[in-house]
Copies of this chain bind each other. A is one copy, B any other.
């Protein structure tokens, strides 16, 4: 960390900062310019320091980090992580496609969808049993019944299953059924939940917050990693901006940025990233072209009757066509679907 003192700071205030740095167990590197003094904080554990510790001190103008505030999630820590889920590799040459309905609405619909997405080439089945809904009057998910249907769909198709967990209380229950824990955008900074998942021995799929920064996403991943669970993949799902022509703004830049900053696999969610099924195909192809390790797609037998997220769901036919197109794009960038 670098601490910039104000022009003509009082020597006693400079001294106070130096003392505080040393008190915290770091070394000081002092650089006195003609007008300003700059204090370098030296030590391997910069990620343990907070900027505000110094910003509040007299005559401090600004502080700047030299290192990122995360460690286990950083690219420096590890080579590219590849996660194995019942034989499906996530983060390798193969691009994983996780497909299925937003919500599990019943046994038949999830079984039917599971067979359809498998036939088109999906390798993981998604489906929500616990649903975070912005209205208390909306369908909140089938709960354990939904989890059972997912398990049956897995048994029939062999597809591993991913489903959302919303609360630390539900981690054990959901873990009894799912192959991958999904953390939704509203829970990216639900630290109680992240801590609970850090103690699990199953992969975690962590969505970026609806207006989370890339750094915050990696900090949330750090919570899980620091708990001992190293099987984390992160997901770009669109961010909130001023633009209203689409529901969210898919941050395509985040894909190469995350690959550069971290070793964790990066998945794209074009359904939430656009909010409109018409654009899901274009953004799926873009995400693969930009280097994503996988896609999460919403597929529904009859989107107009979906209990949630119908507007961004693909029909079976549209999904199958898109998979054909995606194969060509994947090949063009040296990957496979």
Contacts and interface: CB of A to CB of B under 8 A. Distances in A.
How many copies of the shown chain assemble into the complex? 4
Interface string A277-288: 111001101111
A64 interface: yes
Given A42-B33, A256-B283, A329-B332, A190 B191 contact: no
Nearest to A71: B137
Contact of A241 (B140, B241, B246): B241
Nearest to A64: B64
A239 B245 contact: no
Contact of A250 (B53, B186, B252): B252
A45 B223 CA distance: 42
A227 to B, nearest CB: 8
Interface of A: 2, 4, 7, 20, 29, 31, 33-36, 38, 40, 42, 44, 47-48, 50-53, 55-57, 62, 64, 66, 69-70, 76, 132-138, 140, 166-170, 186-187, 189-193, 195, 210-211, 213-216, 219, 222-223, 226-227, 239-246, 249-257, 260-261, 273-274, 276-279, 282-283, 285-291, 303-304, 306, 308-313, 325, 328-329, 331-333
Contacts of A328: 332-333
